[in-house]
Structure 1
Amino acid sequence: MALSSYRKHRIYLAATLKYGLGSKDPEELAFYNKIMEEMDDMKKDTVKKGIPLR
């Protein structure tokens, strides 16, 4: 069974606020872990700020 948009939103909020999920449902855990991995990947990428002078 697919997760509802409401449930996905709640899991997304828990992941972005670094809260525990509190669920043992494998589908919810997979979605939570996917979001956490994407957030870790974003931290590794450097962000170029400012205007290059040359």
Structure 2
Amino acid sequence: MPYYRRSKIAGGTYFFTQVTHQRQPWLCSDLSGSLLRSGGGLAVFEFTDL
């Protein structure tokens, strides 16, 4: 596993990569976007879009 350097600044912006099973492109459709936005994660974990 590669060594990652991380900044320990409070309130920082975080980026992450999502990869689907066998890299199928289902996240690129309009339906998947609306399904992800309507999920329960927004109610549990508050965040704001930049």
**Which of these two proteins has the greater Rg computed from alpha carbons?**
1
TM-score, normalisation: structure 1: 0.25
Greater length-normalized contact order (CA 8 Å, ≥ 6 residues apart): 1
Name whichever structure is richer in helix by fraction: 1
